Chains A and B, each alone.
Chain A
Amino acid sequence: MFKFFEPNKIFLINSKVTKYVLFLFIIVLSIGLLEALVLSPEDYKQSHSVRIMYVHVPAAWISIGIFSSIAFLSMGVFIFKNKNLSLISKSLAPSGFIFNIVALVTGAIWGIPTWGTWWAWDARITSMVILLLFYLIYLLSWRIFDNNDKAIKITSIIAIFGVINVPIIKFSVDWWTTLHQPSSINILSKTSIHSSMLIPLAIMTAAFALFSLLIFLMKYNTELIKIKNKGLDRL
């Protein structure tokens, strides 16, 4: 089942794919920024500060998405004893961590002109801070434990525990009263973002996803080189 994850093969494919991903990322980001900063209209209420949303929302989505992926991969590590999956999760984590910080910082910047405060300890923001702490402890434990087997075990446990926080983030705005507004994009009900604002949001999400993929591929290759240098054929 996991033949596909043969490190040597992946290394060769990765090295080729990285260039194309970078190229694609630059194109999508340029279109996204043009749409978000120039072509899209201002909001009837927030005027131009709505443009912060085009960075804030994709960053939040991707940081949550990456953490969920790490958690599922970690479950795979535990269930199938496949160590390569933990290498993938390890390589995914840095961009998710960075996007989590981006989401919090842009949210604070947006909060000043709209809410009148840059920070509120409401359920949404607090749960995002908890996610950031989980990312932090996850990344730290990869560095702290020299013994690879031990690091794999501990990081997997952290990710599996942390995934409980993901639905809390998602539904915090529905379960409790929060200063943060509820989701505008819903699968079941009508979307409350006008289409002229939805398009730049979608393009920026694609751009950020490509950026994460790029960082992931680079980090993953670095990890593979590290393993090779240690004189190990496989994990």
Chain B
Amino acid sequence: MYGKKVKLRILFISLLLLIISLTVFLILKSLEENVVYFKSPTEIKTLNEIQSKKIRVGGMVKKKSVVIKSNEINFVITDLKSEINVTYSGSVPNLFTEGKGVVAEGFLKDRNYLVATKILAKHDENYMPPEVKEALGDK
């Protein structure tokens, strides 16, 4: 139904897209270290060396781990496999609560201890009215 030229052009476009996709894939794959926004506590544990650069650690705030002192807040970030202690002085976002997602930016003292300079709350993908949440919580 279509001429030979049309078929050739379709082949050309398909190959072009394939080439670009593969190139982009390779670039992103090699840059993965920088594309990820934060590391999990488990990944911190397996780090070869502790760099003095700023680093972001993300996970869940461990339940009953938040301790608030005069101008300092201590808590534990967990990914349910490993844990890391975090110290931070300053105000935390409103959505920062135990059992919810958090991203802490700061400097690693060792593989178990992070001094944070910024705390971000990570929101999850669940959206529901308070009544529904209560009903779910009762179960």
Main secondary structure of the interface of B (DSSP, over half): mixed
Interface size bracket, B side:
35 or more
Q: Which residues of the partner chain A approach B129 to less than 8 Å between Cβ atoms? A: 41-44, 194, 196-197
Chain A residue with minimal CB distance to B23?
A164
Whether the pair A79, B6 counts as a contact (CB closer than 8 A) is: yes
- Of the four ranges (under 10, 10 to 19, 20 to 34, 35 or more), the interface on chain A belongs to 35 or more
- Chain B neighbourhood of A44, CB < 8 A: 128-130, 132-133
> Can you pick out 9 interface pairs between chain A and chain B where the beta carbons lie within 8 Å of each other?
A115-B93, A116-B93, A116-B95, A123-B36, A160-B16, A161-B20, A177-B37, A179-B120, A197-B128
With A123-B35, A161-B20 given, is the CB distance from A113 to B94 under 8 Å? yes
A123-B37, A164-B17 are contacts. A182–B9 as well, Cβ < 8 Å?
no
Contacting B125 at CB < 8 Å: which of A163, A177, A181, A196?
A181
Would you list the 10 A-B pairs with minimal beta carbon distance, nearest first? A116-B93, A41-B129, A44-B133, A122-B37, A194-B128, A184-B125, A44-B130, A193-B127, A79-B9, A181-B125
Residue ID in chain A nearest B131 by CB atoms:
A41
CB distance from B28 to the nearest CB of A (A): 8
Judge whether A184 and B127 touch: CB under 8 Å.
Answer: yes
**Cβ of B47 under 8 Å from chain A:** no
Q: Which of chain B's residues 90-107 have a Cβ closer than 8 Å to chain A?
A: 92-96, 100, 103
CB distance from A133 to the nearest CB of B (A): 15
**Chain B residues within CB distance 8 Å of chain A:** 6, 9-10, 13, 16-17, 20-21, 24, 28, 32, 35-40, 58, 92-96, 100, 103, 118-133
Residues on B with C-beta less than 8 A from A163 are 17
- The answer on a CB contact under 8 Å between A176 and B35 is yes
- One of A75, A78, A164 near B24 (C-beta < 8 A): A164
**Is chain A's interface secondary structure helix, strand, loop, or mixed overall?**
loop
Pairwise interchain contact B127-A177, C-beta atoms closer than 8 A? no
Chain B residues with CB under 8 A of A113: 93-95
**Contact between chains at B21 and A164 (CB < 8 Å):** yes
Stretch from A22-30, A45-53, A142-150 contacting the other chain = A45-53
In the complex, A192 has a CB within 8 A of chain B: yes
User: By the criterion CB–CB under 8 Å, are A80 and B6 in contact?
Assistant: yes
Within 8 A of B (CB), among A161-184: 161, 163-164, 168, 176-179, 181-184
Complex interface bits, A189-221 against B, C-beta within 8 A gives 1, otherwise 0: 000111011000000000000000000000000
Residues on A facing B (Cβ under 8 Å): 41-46, 50, 53, 75, 78-80, 113-117, 120-123, 160-161, 163-164, 168, 176-179, 181-184, 192-194, 196-197
